[in-house]
Amino acid sequence: MLYLRKNDIKQSFSMREAIEASKKALSAYSNGMAEVPLRTNLDIAQYEGQSLYMPAYVKGDHSALGIKIASVYPKNIKRNLPSIFALMLVLDPVTGIVTACLDGTYFTQLRTGAVQGAATDLLARKDAKIGALIGTGGQAEAQLEAMLTARSLKEVRVYSLHFQHAKRFCSEMQHHYDCELIPVKTSEACVTDADIITTVTTAKTPTFQAEWVKVGAHINGIGSFTPEMCEIPTELIQQADIILFDTMDGVLHEAGDFITPLQNGLVNLQDYDGELGQLINGEIKGRDSDQQITLFKSVGSAVLDVVVADAIVKKAKSEGLGLELLN
């Protein structure tokens, strides 16, 4: 069994490759080629933790099988341990044998960034120059990289509830990129005139206002993943020309910003145009005008995990990276 650490993954697999693998995963999902059971969430009440198990299987000539295990233990901080830990297991779909184990924490950051990059690549204006990133937590670095992989932006404005966090993030990231990273003190300053807006927070109220969004902008909602969470304002959902999800079932079961307006009758199910995989497969139309506002929402799916992980393992093996563990 091959064990891939964070540096092994970073050295062997680029964000561009992760974006293309994510497109293949969503294409397979929308084609009905994936088996993705609901994730199992064990509540470890005694220790105030949760243990999550997310399996998936993709059929066909390029089959993939795997499971991601993630633990969320907020009190680990007091133990000087990470509050979120994840591990990705890759299995051989022919034999069922575990063939690889990946650092799931970094892997999840890469994969989550990549699905946003896929949507940005397919939906944002080709001439996009200004980016907006709301949120500077653990997902922010990969989200920034994905935006800059999908489009050659001249500047990205960064907003956090704590301005010092935005300043520190921009300072740490600036030496990696040619574009200018600008910390801003308000969400309005971040979003106004931006061509691409990505919000990746755990907010329970919208992180910006619809009236600040310019005509022709593309928006990515990446952070919310429970019915109580909300990043995208309902008014923007009402006015967007194209609204696509990573998976329709996932978003309509988990993302509060899209569930609540539907339940309240402020939008109809028909206002949600479909899945990004359907666009990739040519079943639905994407942007056909620079004046359209496009909106993408992701809550994540194990199909992305298994396809991206399988591609990473194959690439790492071809380059002789990773640690081979004895069975």
Q: How confident is the model over 237-255, as pLDDT tens digits?
A: 999 999 999 999 999 999 9
Kindly report the average pLDDT of the chain as a whole number. 95
229 in Cβ contact with 255 (< 8 Å): yes
Q: 298-313 b/e with 16+ CB inside 10 Å = b?
A: bbbbbbbbbbbbbbbb
Q: Which tens digit of pLDDT belongs to each residue from 203-242?
A: 999 999 999 999 999 999 999 888 999 999 999 999 999 9
The closest of 296, 287, 294, 293 to 245, measured between CA atoms, is 296
Answer whether residue 268 shows pLDDT above 90.
yes
Q: 94: Cβ–Cβ under 8 A, 6 or more apart, which residues? A: none
Antiparallel, parallel or unpaired: β 34-35 and 40-44: unpaired
Task: Please report where in the chains the tokens 């293949």 appear, as a residue.
Answer: 24
147 in Cβ contact with 131 (< 8 Å): yes
Task: Please report where in the chains the tokens 């600008």 appear, as a residue.
Answer: 182
Where do the H-state alpha helices sit in the chain? 6-12, 15-30, 104-123, 140-150, 163-174, 187-191, 234-239, 248-254, 256-263, 276-280, 302-318
* Tokens of residue 270, six digits: 């028909």
pLDDT at 62: 84
Count of other CB atoms within 10 angstroms of residue 252: 16
68 in Cβ contact with 41 (< 8 Å): no
pLDDT at 240: 98
Answer whether residue 326 shows pLDDT above 90.
no
Q: Residue 89 — left, alpha, or beta (φ > 0 → left; ψ -120 to 50 → alpha)?
A: beta
pLDDT at 327: 60
Answer whether residue 108 shows pLDDT above 90.
yes
The closest of 157, 143, 174, 178 to 18, measured between CA atoms, is 143
Note the pTM of the prediction, 2 decimals. 0.94
pLDDT at 141: 96
Q: Residue 320 — left, alpha, or beta (φ > 0 → left; ψ -120 to 50 → alpha)?
A: left
> 112: helix, coil or strand?
helix
Percent of the chain with pLDDT over 90: 90
Q: How many residues comprise the chain? A: 327
pLDDT at 130: 98
Answer whether residue 88 shows pLDDT above 70.
yes
Q: Which tens digit of pLDDT belongs to each residue from 41-82?
A: 899 999 999 999 999 999 988 899 999 999 988 888 888 888
Distance CA 327, CA 321 (A): 18
Task: Please report where in the chains the tokens 């992980």 appear, as a residue.
Answer: 309
Answer whether residue 98 shows pLDDT above 80.
yes
pLDDT at 82: 81
The enclosing H or E element of 58 equals: strand 49-58
Distance CA 252, CA 243 (A): 13
Phi, psi (rounded to 5 degrees) for 326: -75, 140
Antiparallel, parallel or unpaired: β 242-245 and 294-297: parallel
Antiparallel, parallel or unpaired: β 242-245 and 274-275: parallel
* Domains of the chain and CATH, by start: 2-108+303-324 (3.30.1780.10), 114-301 (3.40.50.720)
The enclosing H or E element of 121 equals: helix 104-123
pLDDT at 84: 82
